[in-house]
Structure 1
């Protein structure tokens, strides 16, 4: 019997295994490059600005009731600092073959591409495309969030470098997706009939509140929930002269702030039962390391 097939198979496996670290290294580099590119594009969009208008000015040009006050968008600085911490953490040689980070890198890169493309679509007012890109970004974050949920409980460094930044990012993109939908519908000519704008805004606030309660009380995720609190306070401040919208946003902010406190207390009292343990049936030896 010839030994060549066995030799060839073993050689192929060895070659594939030797390529894996290189692929991981390139994925690490692409995470850093894609994040830096996204930050630069977002900054230039307002410095140049693209198509002669800033990102916020376009939002403010639509009389919709789910877009918070301008200062709320400063959360992007927090998001990008957190994502920079993530990019640096995953780029460390010691994390190159980490099985959890391997599952996060490509969705993250795709999310950065969607984020950057969204900026161009937004500034050139291609609003149907903006929603498609926003949903892609939201989808990549949900994938990453889900994979974090089935991972082993993180140490402090991984918690603050990976988990918290992605939780905050997902929280904000949840709000941004709802706002994007309202702006697209307005651009398409729909004014909410038979209901008016404030009523629809109140309904959306209620829906977002239930989403926040799920993350706070079921997943014990205070970071995600507090992002929604931040957004709802901004909606209240911007639309305090519109009672239905303002008071709905204020009630939502208070409700979710209390829920976030419950989530924090639960994690402190029962640290083993955090967002990574509560909702997945996997045992610890089945989880992603």
Structure 2
């Protein structure tokens, strides 16, 4: 099978940046259902408040801008855009696929596989872009890349664990004998651990931290008015956000 050409790679980035931005509108046109409708608008304690998911709008907009920038002659001539071109279009394509599967009520197991693949790719992109920033290479749109893939990876670092939780709940494997609030904290802890590790590897990448803290803040908002013991989830999420911010600050100072 012939390798994908550079122009083909750039074209796929444009195509899938557009599709991932347009697919969420399909339910409004009568095709499929919204993700919220699929879940029955159920909100277990580990799920952020609805407003937090608006971060996808920012990510999709930045993806469209990136799709334009990467076709410019100044970007085509750089090593970084050649390195990230394939994983970025695959990430956008998987994002499109995840939404299609969710909106047409596909299996949760498939959604989980897709989002785990998305997470792996987004983390790779985060590290590629962070390494370039550390070397202070002159790359067109370098700040755009940092914001886009920092937000993408940071949000997916939480979202992937929420998908794991959804799968376990649907299989009646959760809450693993725990109370709902205890299980919610048990889901947030490994997500926070992943974020902490990646903050160390990315030298405290600020946009990655912002997306993760944004998600945790959404969990705080979703649980802050709940009665005890569910309110402990808000306390745990707030504590993790503070801890991760401290880790990011330390990582930046050590870089």
Higher alpha-carbon Rg: 1
Does the Cα contact within 8 Å between 1:24 and 1:97 map onto a contact in 2?
Answer: no
Could you tell me which residue of structure 1 aligns to residue 205 of structure 2? 221
Shift of 1:28: 1.5
Aligned equivalent of 2:11: 29
Per the TM alignment, residue 140 of structure 1 is displaced from its structure 2 partner at its CA by 1.8
1:236 is matched with: 220
Instruction: Tell me, in whole angstroms, the C-alpha distance in 2 between the residues paired with 1:198 and 1:140.
Output: 31
| The 10-residue stretch of structure 1 (186-195 or 104-113) with the greater mean CA deviation from structure 2 | 186-195
Deviations 1:112-149 (A, max 9, x none): 22111111211214111101111121122123223334
Q: Distance in 2 between matches of 1:120 and 1:136?
A: 16
Q: Which residue of 2 is the match for residue 247 of structure 1?
A: 235
Unpaired runs of 5+ residues, structure 1, are 1-19, 274-289
Q: 1:204 aligns with which of 167, 187, 206?
A: 187
Query: Aligned residues, how many?
Result: 246
Alpha-carbon RMSD? 2.5
Q: Distance in 2 between matches of 1:154 and 1:141?
A: 21
What is the aligned partner in structure 1 of residue 123 from structure 2?
142
1:224 partner SS: helix
Aligned CA distance change for structure 1 residues 50 and 131 (closer, same or farther; 3 Å)? farther
Q: Deviations over 1:195-226 (max 9, x none)?
A: 22211211222222233333335522121112
2:99 to 112, 119, 126: 119
- Using the TM superposition, name which of 59-68 and 100-109 deviates more: 59-68
For 1:217 and 1:128, the matched residues in 2 are separated by 31
CA change 1:60–1:168 in 2 (3 A) is farther
CA contact (8 A) 1:68 1:235 kept: yes
CA contact (8 A) 2:165 2:174 kept: no
The more displaced of 33-42 and 248-257 is: 248-257
**Structure 2 unaligned residues grouped into runs of 5+:** none
Q: Identify the residue that residue 80 of structure 1 maps to in structure 2.
A: 60
Q: Distance in 1 between matches of 2:242 and 2:168?
A: 29
Deviations 1:17-57, CA, capped at 9 Å, x for gaps: xxx9x932232222111101111112324x23543x31233
Look up the SS of the partner of 2:44 in the other structure. Answer: coil
Taking the aligned partners of 2:41 and 2:174, their CA distance within structure 1 comes to 15
Normalising by the residue count of structure 2, what TM-score does the alignment of the two structures yield? 0.85
Partner of 1:256: 244
